A and B are shown apart, each in its own frame.
Chain A
Amino acid sequence: MSAGLAIDAALALVLPVLAWAVVATPDLRKAIVLFMALGLVAALAWARLAAPDIALVEAAIGTGVTGALLMSCVPWAESLTPASRRARADLALAGALAVVACLGWAIRALPEAGPGLTPAVLGALEVSGVEHPVTAVLLNYRSYDTLLEIVVLVAAAIGIDAVLPDDDARRRLAPPARSLVGVLSHLLVPGAVLVAGFLVWKGAHAPGGAFQAGAVLAAGGILLLFARRLRPVPFAARALRGALLAGPLLFLGVAVAPLVRGGRLLELPVAWAGVLILAIETVLVVTIAIVLLMFFPARVLASSRAPAATVEDPP
């Protein structure tokens, strides 16, 4: 397996160098592209570390949402006055090196082989309602973490709406027009919807689940947003907020139901565990997709280039 170890060595060496390149380049545009590269090399590292779930989320959220989110920063980033205090690069360097040295010393001192919680997870797998251990941990053993995490997403949605309200930006959106991105969205968006459904269904017995599916659906939505086929998320519309909150409210309903009968919070009945998890995941996909789409409010799209009506031919 020397080639395998060589790949590991190459990836392990490149990651910190790429990270340093992302952080050190003064030009934001170069930093964004390097950040995308870092995301992809990280996906390969997750693949080598036998963590397909994380590779899937890294690919879905990294290339799908984070890239577009950072691109939306380019137009206004330069005009932002820097933080007041002058940057203390040397002090930060000394501090970072000290922190890394201590943490490295601790990691080296960790015992070589630890079984971790694998036996416990696999032991209780058949009553968890799903076959894939990571989904069992996410939506049954530690589902309280996932519930709070969905609330964190809703908190981000409220914050973005509070900071970048729609008010009049919605009127300044360019009207839909035939464009290259329109063609692209025609071809890719149906695929994205299919893959999202596939990922949710697959989550029960193989890597997949609500987050990956939500991110893929959101990426399809982003394509439609830029192709002017889809209007930006109208957070003011109650129906939209209802769709956004359906996921968390259903999750809370399932969580509270056992309390009424004297059971414990989020205690899924064994017979219904699989069905309940699938139902929660399916509704959560909508919530996650809506929140990820809210990262591109009307203001961001109003400043984007209107689709060119005609193809400019060079002189």
Chain B
Amino acid sequence: MAELRAAVALFLVLTVLVGMIRVARGPSFADRMLVALLMGTTGVAVLVLLAASPGAGALRDVALVLSLLASVTVVAFARLAASGREPAAGPAPGHPDAPAPAPAAATVTVTATVTATAAATDATAAAGADAAAAPEPPP
């Protein structure tokens, strides 16, 4: 049983490493964030498997903490890092069914975003940040 647990743990570690390819290939930042999700779930699974062996009970608490905090990075991604437009949106260009790339209208230049934060104007800036960031609907 211990041997099986170690084997499954090894298998999961390998799946994580294979999942890394998505980080390299993933066209958009959201694709790369998927690996963070994969990390969270598989990490918890491996830790729980390792925790089953005698004397390593503390690893279950590590798994507990990891399961609790896995979503913080994703929330930070959604709130902070996702405002930039993706250069080559859509599936990998090589994919046969890739639609014509969406108009790469880089509406939000980073400089404007930074000055929006540095701007000391009142409530308009909050609305301004929304207007600047709202994308026009793709075709």
Q: Do chains A and B touch in the complex (CB under 8 A)?
A: yes
Residues of A in contact, count (CB < 8 Å): 75
Which of A37, A173, A174 has the most chain B CB atoms closer than 10 A to its own CB?
A37
Which residues of the other chain, A, contact B3 by a CB distance below 8 angstroms?
A: 3
3 cross-chain pairs, A with B, having the tightest CB-CB distances, nearest first:
A67-B73, A3-B6, A68-B76
Establish whether residues A304 and B80, one from each chain, have CB atoms under 8 Å apart when the complex forms: yes
Answer whether residue A60 sits at the interface, using C-beta atoms and an 8 A cutoff.
yes
> Once bound together, how far apart are the Cα atoms of A185 and B130, in whole Å?
23
Residues of B in contact, count (CB < 8 Å): 62
Establish whether residues B73 and A71, one from each chain, have CB atoms under 8 Å apart when the complex forms: yes
Establish whether residues A44 and B47, one from each chain, have CB atoms under 8 Å apart when the complex forms: yes
Which residues of the other chain, B, contact A3 by a CB distance below 8 angstroms?
A: 3, 6-7, 9-10
Answer whether residue B88 sits at the interface, using C-beta atoms and an 8 A cutoff.
no
CB-CB contacts below 8 Å: A1-26 with B: 1, 3-4, 6-7, 10-11, 14, 18, 21
Chain A positions 217 through 242: 1 when the CB is less than 8 Å from some CB of chain B, otherwise 0? 00100110010000000000000000
Establish whether residues B110 and A219, one from each chain, have CB atoms under 8 Å apart when the complex forms: no
| Complex partner residue of B32 from A18, A29, A302, CB under 8 angstroms | A29
Chain B positions 26 through 41: 1 when the CB is less than 8 Å from some CB of chain A, otherwise 0? 0001001101100110
Taking the closest CB of chain A, its distance from the CB of B124, in whole angstroms, is 9
Given A29-B81, A59-B65, is A223 in contact with B10 using a C-beta cutoff of 8 Å? no
Establish whether residues A303 and B35, one from each chain, have CB atoms under 8 Å apart when the complex forms: no
Establish whether residues B17 and A195, one from each chain, have CB atoms under 8 Å apart when the complex forms: no
Answer whether residue A265 sits at the interface, using C-beta atoms and an 8 A cutoff.
no
Establish whether residues B69 and A52, one from each chain, have CB atoms under 8 Å apart when the complex forms: no
> Once bound together, how far apart are the Cα atoms of A173 and B83, in whole Å?
16
| Interchain residue pairs with CB less than 8 A apart (6) | A1-B6, A18-B20, A56-B58, A64-B65, A75-B83, A208-B61
CB-CB contacts below 8 Å: B1-27 with A: 3, 6-7, 9-10, 13-14, 16-17, 20, 23-24
